[in-house]
Amino acid sequence: MKSLIKGSLAYAKKKGANIVEAYPIDPGDSNYPEPYAYTGIYRAFIDTGFEEVERRSPKRPIMRYYMRIKD
């Protein structure tokens, strides 16, 4: 999953993106069904440099990667 995220960031940078936003699942300690995790897992986004900017529900954080600041 991290390789896919990094590839997506590289593509977004190539296309001139300033911010990339993601809506992963944060399963916490629970065993979350895989079909519902198609948007990605929270920890993988944290590990690749995304920041949580808001959380409108316990399991669905809004994550952002600020391209210009970090690259």
Which pLDDT belongs to residue 31?
74
Contacts 24+ apart (CB under 8 A), 47-54: 47/2, 48/2, 48/5, 48/6, 48/9, 50/5, 50/20, 50/22
Predicted TM-score (pTM) of this structure: 0.84
Find the domain containing 22 and state its range.
2-70
For residue 48, the model assigns a pLDDT of 96
The number of domains in the chain is 1
State residue 14's pLDDT score.
Answer: 94
Q: What is the pLDDT along the chain (71 residues), one digit of tens a residue?
A: 899 999 999 999 999 999 999 999 998 777 767 777 788 999 999 999 999 999 999 889 999 999 875 55
